[in-house]
Amino acid sequence: MPKHFFFDLDGTLTRSRTLMAAAHQELFDKLCREKNVVVITGGQLSQIRKQIPSRFDGMYIVLSQSGNHAIEKNGEILWSERFTQEQKDGILALIRKIHDDVRLPVKDENDLVEDRGSQISYSLIGHHEDVSKKEAFDPGAQKRLAILAKHAEGVEELRKTGADVRPGGTTTFDFTIAGKHKGFNIRRLIEKKDWKKEDCVYVGDALFPGGNDETVIGVIPTHAVRDPNETFDFVKNNLL
């Protein structure tokens, strides 16, 4: 039975940008008390705190921005990465190219890009669009993978600066420092903690090829889920 549980957030612990369901909170509380819990997501700490109730603050480790901003349970910053200006300029240039190419109607043009410091996320339809619309937009990320394939030259140019991009969440492209993805940062944490990989498990809804959880495969054992209900069924089955 695992000792250390790593969770994606959107689509795994909660619906996209949505507070953890009341029906799941007691199981999460029990898990945090019995095991080590780590939440790793593309979002910032402030977004994580909007989705996981404040009663759990200090009960789990946070790996925000795909793990590039790591915070211990007691609030200690374990590490924090930042883009160079060249990387940021390259990311914003590629976002403009994709935006002008896809030309999707959106409610708010100012809701598409979030600069989080060590991650920039570009939502094709808006970060705060209706959650059901977001979930139905691109399940499996095939639309977004096709867009990246179409812009392969731009993606390759971006990689030369040391930045990379992959589909994230339900509607986004997540731009990160090349190589410093979820898998890299999970490995960094378990080495820092001196945890055994066989005592860990990663739970996520995007472990498929091209998904934003794929980089964890081979780092620690993984468990694929389709939604938070499946996640908490798994949690229930792994509690003492």
Mind listing the pLDDT tens digit for each residue in 112-137? 999 998 999 999 999 999 999 999 99
Burial class (CB within 10 angstroms; exposed 0-12, middle 13-18, buried 19+) of 25: middle
Which of 177, 200, 226 marks a domain boundary?
177
**What is the DSSP-derived secondary structure letter of residue 207?**
-
> Which pLDDT belongs to residue 239?
87
Q: Are residues 60 and 17 in the same domain?
A: yes
Residue 56 is part of a domain; what is its CATH number? 3.40.50.1000
Please tell me whether residue 42 adopts helix, strand or coil conformation. coil
> Which pLDDT belongs to residue 240?
64
Nearest to 220 by CA among 203, 194, 197: 197
Residues of the domain holding 116: 85-177
Q: Are residues 161 and 118 in the same domain?
A: yes
- How far apart, in Å, are the Cα atoms of 25 and each of 6, 13, 42, 96, 151? 16, 10, 22, 40, 41
> Which pLDDT belongs to residue 179?
95
Residue 127 is part of a domain; what is its CATH number? 3.30.1240.20
Which of 155, 177, 199 marks a domain boundary?
177
Report the alpha-carbon distance of residue 29 to residue 55 in Å, rounded: 9
